[in-house]
Amino acid sequence: MNEVKTKVRINKYDNLKGLAIFMIVLGHMAFLRKYDSISFIHDFVFLFDLPLFFFVAGYFSKIGPDEPVKAFKRLFVPFVIFRVLFELFSIFYLGKPPSNQMFIRPGYMLWFLICLFIMKMLLPIFDKFRYPLVTAFILALLIGFIKCNILGISRVFTFMPIFLIGFYFKDYQSKLETNYKRLNGLLNKKSTIILIAIIALLISIIVAYELPFRHIILKHPYHDFLIDIIYRIIVLGISTLNVLVLNKIMTNSSNIFTKFGRASLTVYLLHGYIIILSKLYLKPVFANYPRRFIAFIFIFSFIITFILSRDIFTNILNKLFDGANNLILKNN
């Protein structure tokens, strides 16, 4: 199922990734200070940014004999390289002691790469289930009973339903158009789309205000079974709804987010160092100016994303990754 997908670049999905990477930078910038309004920002964007990335990654994923090697080259090798670079940065610049679990616990931001790599390895297994999405959703709830941060495993299973929605999206869309024509027509009405978008936005605001961040981040094991599992269902549900709404309304025309999206991996891998330096040198500046700080993080996040999405940085990383892959793998 869904094994053949187009190789043509689609602006719409680059735009989704571009919006997501800007939100990720914004969310990480918001951690610089502890204001209620700032906390709301990083809680709110988390309901959009990573779900969007996993959805788009699933949409363009395939099942085939060459896919494990491609995933190794595009995800695992960058993970190893940047885990080593970050370890060196932590030791020689930040003065931290060496980690004895450097690759087992990916740590700062790099967990996403190894999670996505594992998801792609698990994709053929999930595809063999009769109801892969239902299976993934059940596992997303069950993983909360286990304390397991090794290789980001908890998030692998937590976000797997959204990844699979992206992977099977064309199949689901085709079935909706063929078997549920009236419902499909209703969902394509402008008034319905606007109504659903408003509902999704309002629910996201409420969730960001009311739920503790430890529940929104979908990382920590359950403390209170009933409450925690309800919160996880709510967060997964609204995150999925946000992804589907944005996928519906996102334009296919080229814009600034298109460039951000095409360089999203570069921005993701490099922006963390700027965030860390910002914590060291900029955090004290806004200690007593929360409103100015809010304006600052929006502007600075845009500047970071804009600068790091320039071709020069992507070209440097591509040469670095290509060189590493050539050393590791045979060239056919």
Per-residue pLDDT reduced to its tens digit, 215-228: 898 888 888 888 99
The residue that leads in pLDDT, 103 or 213, is 213
Tell me the pLDDT band of 32, cut-offs 50, 70 and 90.
confident
Q: How far is CA 198 from the centre of its chain?
A: 23
What tokens appear for 63 in the block? Answer: 């099942």
Length of the chain: 332
Contact 43, 208 (CB under 8 A): yes
Q: Position 301: which residue type?
A: S
Tell me the pLDDT band of 8, cut-offs 50, 70 and 90.
low
Structure-derived torsion over alpha carbons of residues 207, 241, 157, 103, reported in degrees to the nearest 10: -70
CA 315, CA 228: separation in Å to the nearest integer? 44
Query: What φ, ψ does residue 233 adopt, rounded to 5°?
Result: -60, -45
Closest C-alpha to 91, from 100, 104, 80, 79? 100
Q: Give the pLDDT confidence of 39-78 residue by residue, as tens digits.
A: 888 899 999 999 999 999 999 999 999 999 999 999 999 9
Q: What is the pLDDT of residue 180?
A: 86
Tell me the pLDDT band of 331, cut-offs 50, 70 and 90.
low
User: Which of 15-19, 271-275, 291-295 is predicted most confidently?
Assistant: 15-19
Closest C-alpha to 162, from 126, 123, 136, 127? 136
Q: What is the pLDDT of residue 242?
A: 97
What tokens appear for 125 in the block? Answer: 């297994």
CA 41, CA 43: separation in Å to the nearest integer? 5
Query: What φ, ψ does residue 164 adopt, rounded to 5°?
Result: -70, -35
Q: What is the pLDDT of residue 3?
A: 44
Supply the mean pLDDT for the chain.
Answer: 88
Q: What is the pLDDT of residue 154?
A: 87
The angle at the Cα of 160, spanning 162 to 222, to the nearest 5 degrees, equals 105
Tell me the pLDDT band of 4, cut-offs 50, 70 and 90.
very low
Tell me the pLDDT band of 5, cut-offs 50, 70 and 90.
very low
Q: What is the pLDDT of residue 55?
A: 97
CA 123, CA 121: separation in Å to the nearest integer? 6
SS3 of residue 117 by DSSP: helix
Residue with tokens 């992507």: 314
Query: What φ, ψ does residue 42 adopt, rounded to 5°?
Result: -70, -30
Q: What are the strands, taking DSSP E only, across the chain? A: none
Query: What φ, ψ does residue 147 adopt, rounded to 5°?
Result: -90, 100
SS3 of residue 18 by DSSP: helix
Closest C-alpha to 82, from 114, 41, 35? 114
Contact 275, 7 (CB under 8 A): no
Q: Is the pLDDT of residue 294 over 60?
A: yes
Per-residue pLDDT, averaged over 258-263, amounts to 95
Q: What is the pLDDT of residue 318?
A: 94
Distances (CA, A) of 303 to 11, 26, 142, 177, 259: 21, 11, 40, 41, 13
